[in-house]
Each structure stands twice: as C-alpha cells, then as structure tokens.
Structure 1
Amino acid sequence: MKLGFLTACLPQVPLERIAAWAAEHDYDALEVATWPATGSRDFEASHLDVASFTDRDAEQVRTLLDGHGLEISALAYYENNLHPDEKRRAEIAEHVRRNIDTAQLLGVPYVGTFIGRDPGRSVRENIELGNQVLPPLVEYAGERGVKLIIENCVMEGWHPDGYPGNLAYSPELWEWIFSLGFYLNYDPSHLMWLGIDPVEALRPYVDRIPHAQAKDAQLDPRARNRYGFFGKAAERDDPWDMGWWRYRVPGLGDVDWRSVVDTLYEGGFTGTLSVEHEDPVWGSDEEKVKQGLVIAHRTLRPLIVA
C-alpha cells in the first residue's frame, strides 16, 4: 500500500511544486486533478491539460515524478456523467475520454470520476439512463488498458434538496456500477453520515477497490436533532452545508482508520490510499492546506507497512 494525496486541494500550485513538497514530506504518490481550466468552481484544479496532452508532455511528467521518487496513482476528474443537459453530458464524457488517453500515455492505471445523476429523474430512471450511456466509457477505457474508478461521494449539493447527486453512495449501488465494469475509489467519510459502517461496507468489496481515498468526517448528533438526516432546509444558503457534519483530514474526525487500513490489507489491497483534503479548518490558504496534509500523514503513515 502507498500513501498519496489528491492534488485538487492545491489548485493554484503547479504540479512541479506539489511533487517537490510531496516527496519532501514522505508521500509516495499523487492523484492528479485534471478538470478543464475553466475556473467555474473554486475546488477545480487543472494540474494536467489532458485536452491537449502529448507524448512529449508525458515524457516531461514522468521525468518530474521519477525525479522525486513519486508515481501518479490516478487521474481525477469528478463530474456528473448523467448530467441532465445532453450537451453538457457529452462534454463531460469527452473530457473523461481525454483523461483516459492521457492515462494511457503516462502508464497510469486509473481515471477517477463520478456516476452523477439527473436530479429530475428517480434513482431507477437514472439507472436506466446509466445503463445506456455509461458502458461506452468503460469500453473506451478498457481498450486502452485503463480502469474507471468511481468515488462513492454523495454529492448532495448537486440535488436541489440535498439528496444524493451521485448514484454510487451505497453498497447496493456499488454492485450496479460493478456490473457495468466500473471499479470503486472507496472513501469512508461519505459512509459515516449516511449511517453505513465503513468497515463492514468495505469488507466484501476489496477486490473491486484498486484505489482508495482518505477523508474523515466529523459528526454532530446534536445538530442533527435540529436539522434531521437530510440537513439544513430553510437555513441552507450553501448547498454543501448540511449543518450537522463536516469533512476533516484523517485523524480529526470519526473514521476508525486503524480498522479501515487493516481491512484493506486483509482483503489484499495493494493500491494507493490517497488523502482527499477538504477540511475547512485546515483550508483557505496554501500553508494551512499543507499543514492539513501533514496531519493526515501523521495519522496514516504509522498504519501503512513499509
């Protein structure tokens, strides 16, 4: 098992500086963010321009990573592949394909994305839509020796009422996406607030989890007594603010990391555990984000066999 982090937490820092810092602070791998450079969302990061990536670019990136003793664990483009607007859905699918092409050039085995959802359709209707539009992406990846990995983030902010916006949030839905040929980029933080035991949910599916993300969640049951499971309603100005839980870096929330890592080992996991830093306490500027990554490292490194 290797320890890495998702570069999206440092959207304004070039990949060269991120790689140097990661190596200096004893990380093994980078999950590299590859959103288009549109600036449409604050958390989007574009550390590789996959839309115009060439063999020469691949050589330069490999030289950079090799020089720091790092590897790229996966490319990361988490978008709504069931977007209700067909034109936008096609744009997203095209960028997924460009990620796959870039992964092939770099010898990177995985591209991470979301299933997504059309919020105007029921879950069952979305599954029917997914059965139609998603298999070509899986086939495109497979032909190039790449696996598509789906993060189990709920993406509640994509739904007008805070309901699941990414149909990969439960083991029941994992089994559906596995049937389409996807793999899981397992993240225990999302299971915590759903009331799903992240260890028991993980145990049966490790063989379909080649890559995992390390993010923590801090729950506040007293606030849940006010807002309910679905979070703020009348008081929610920010679609991502549920009001009774928040993301934290590993070690500052309620995930039992010792049990999670042990279960991954027990199931034969040999991939990368990649820190996804979305902690509001250790955010807002580059130095605080890096301190958050240091905290995550201190939590996880002792659990990973050298």
Structure 2
Amino acid sequence: MQLGFVTALFPELSLREILEFAAETGYDCVEVMCWPPSKAERRYAGVTHIDVASLGDRELSEIDSAVRSTGVKLSALGYYPNPLTPDLAESEAVVLHLKQVITGAAALGLGTVNSFVGRDWTKSVDDQWPRFLDTWRPIIAHAEAHKIRIGIENCPMLFGKNEWPGGKNLATSPAIWRRMFNDINSNSFGLNFDPSHFVFQFIDPAPALMEFKHRLFHIHAKDARLDQWALNEYGALANPALFHTPKLPGLGDVNWGRFFSVLTDCGYQGPVCVEVEDRAYEGTVELRKASLRQSATFLRNYIPKE
C-alpha cells in the first residue's frame, strides 16, 4: 500500500509545492483535486491543483517533472460534485467536467478518478434510480473507453441545511452499492472507501470491505468521533453534524487495527490517502501540515514505507 493525502486542504499551494511537502514528510502519493476554477460552494470544494480543461503538452510536462523530481506519485484525480442535483443545467455542467477529469487522468497516465454519484436530496432512492442510471451509464462508458476506474466515495453529504433530508450522494451503504454495481456492472465502477462515513451510520466496515474487495479502487483515511452526549440530546434521526465530528486518523472511533487487518486480507495494495477535515487543524497552513505529519506518524504503524 502507498500512503498519501488529499490535496484539498491546501488551496493556496501549487501542485509542485504540495508534492515537495509530501516528499519531505514521507508520503508516497497525493490525490489531486481537479474542480473547475471557481469559488468553492463548501469546505474543501472548488480546489484546483490541475485544471483538466486546459491540460496541454506544457502542463503535462510540468506535472511529470514535478512528480519525477519529488518521487511522489499521483494516486488519482478527485472531483466531488453532485451529478444528480435537481438543477439540470448544473448537472449537465458537472457531468461534462467529470468526463474532462476522466480524459485528463488518461492523458496523465493515471488509472483512477474519484467522485460522488450524487443525489437529489428531496427524493427517495427508488424515485431517482432511473435518473441515476441514465446519468451514470454514459459516464462509466466514457471511463471504460479511456481505461479509467471511477472510485465512488461513500460520504452521504448530509451535513448542511441544503442537503437535508436525503443528502447529496446515493452511494452510502452496502445495500445501495450492491444495487448500483448490479445495474452498472463494469470493471471501471468501484469505490473510494472511507470508513469514517460508517461511524455515524453504525455500520461495521469489515463485512463491506470483504464483500466489495474487488471494487476497492482507492481508500480515504479519515476518522470520526461519535459524541454520545449529543446523540442522547438530538437522537439518531437528527442531522449527523449534530452528533459526530470528523477527526484525524486515530482521534475518532474507527478501529484502524481491525480496518487494516481486514483490508490486507482483502489483498488491497493501492493508495490510502489521508483526508483532513478536522477543524482543530484548519486555522493555518502550518497547522494543516502538522495534521499530515501527525497522520503519517499514526498510519505508518499499518502502512510500512515501500
């Protein structure tokens, strides 16, 4: 396995600066954010370290030079919008850009793009399933044509008032994954598995890892702390932001020893990228760098340097 991190927490740094820091800190790879250049609509969104819409020979050469000089690889390209938003014009633009990210990954010689399936948060899973299939079958066909795998993260996107009650991502549970992969049965369609999103759903990640081991394209290492006092106050039917807190690996309720025990049994040998969404470390660039040093120290107990 390769230890990496998600570049979203450094919007003010260039890709080369990020790769240099990763090399200094002992990381093997980074997942590179590829939003279209714009103002972010939420935390960690709207970050562009590779602009795939203007990825020409010069840009490809510069990226290759930075990778070679630092020795830090690109694990995947990341773009996490809502392709199933009820705003159809927005959805069309999102799908177009996602296809550009797929094309860009192929041009860079990469194998994986990570994203969300998306969701209309006002509708049930069944009510929007036909639209999911109509939207995602052409995306996966585009990925197949470019020999790219799409890793879908299992974050429910159910934290803000504009995401209630359904959240903005369908792919939140093993039951939905099973249906999703049955209806779009492609070797280019899989998971960017993040165990932290199972904490507040009270789901044990181990059985899911085993069942979907052939769909594990990429792993996010993020933790989450369940606050029982808040759960007692608001109940499990409340917005999850009221009773759980994203944390650095090792500072929450994920059992990392068991997680990696099962992950290695699955035969997974790919990237594991730290995703920092811990507000205690957000204040400055130096704090965010410190969060990655701390996370690397913790995770190297499970991921030896290759």
TM exceeding 0.5: yes
Q: Give the TM-score category using the shorter length.
A: over 0.9
Question: Which letter does structure 2 place at the counterpart of 1:283?
Answer: E
Provide the secondary structure at the position in 2 that maps to 1:103: helix
Mapping of residues 17-166 of structure 1, within 5 Å:
17-41=17-41, 42-44=43-45, 45-157=47-159, 159-166=162-169
| 3-state SS, counterpart of residue 66 of structure 2 | helix
Q: What does residue 272 of structure 1 align with?
A: 271
Residues 162 and 287 of structure 1: is their aligned pair in 2 closer, same or farther, counting only changes over 3 Å? Answer: farther
Pick which of 91-100 and 36-45 moved more: 36-45
CA distance in 1, matches of 2:69, 2:40: 33
CA distance in 2, matches of 1:162, 1:67: 47
What letter matches 1:11 in structure 2?
P
Structure 1 distance, partners of 2:294, 2:271, is: 18
Deviations 1:273-296 (A, max 9, x none): 011110111112111111111111
Matched, 1:169 2:168: no
Task: Give how far 1:304 is off.
Answer: 1.3
Counterparts of 1:81 and 1:125 in 2: how far apart (Å)? 16
Aligned to 1:237: none
**How far off its partner does 1:221 sit?**
1.1
In 2, Cα distance between equivalents of 1:87 and 1:36: 15
1:110-165 CA distance string (max 9 Å, x none): 11110111123221012121111110000001101101110000100365434332
Of stretches 196-205 and 5-14 in structure 1, the one that deviates more from structure 2 is 196-205
Normalised by the length of structure 1, the TM-score is 0.94
Q: Which residue of 1 aligns with 2:199?
A: 192
Tell me if 1:282 matches 2:281: yes
Structure 1 runs of 4+ with >4 Å offset: none
Q: Partner letter of residue 271 of structure 1?
A: G
CA distance in structure 1 between the aligned counterparts of 2:300 and 2:201, rounded to whole angstroms: 27
Check whether the contact 1:154–1:165 (CA below 8 A) recurs between aligned residues: yes
Q: Per the alignment, do residues 215 and 248 of structure 1 end up closer, same or farther by CA in structure 2, a change over 3 Å counting? A: same
Contact (CA 8 Å) 2:84, 2:119: kept in 1 or not? yes
Q: CA deviation at 1:169?
A: 0.6
Unaligned runs of 5+ in 2: none
- Tell me if structure 1 keeps the 8 A contact 2:122–2:164: no
Q: Deviations over 1:10-33 (max 9, x none)?
A: 111111111100000000001000
Compute the displacement of 1:259 (Å): 1.3
Tell me how large the CA RMSD over aligned residues is: 1.4
Q: Distance in 1 between matches of 2:245 and 2:2?
A: 26
Alignment partner of 1:214 is 2:227: no
Q: Does the aligned pair in 2 maintain the 1:230–1:242 contact within 8 Å?
A: no
State whether residues 30 and 71 of structure 1, in contact with CA within 8 Å, keep that contact through their aligned partners in structure 2: yes
* 1:181-219 deviation digits (Å, cap 9, x = unpaired): 321000000001101012232221111102110000011
TM-score, normalising length from structure 2? 0.94
Structure 1 runs not aligned, ≥5 long: 233-240
- State the secondary structure of the residue aligned to 1:303: coil
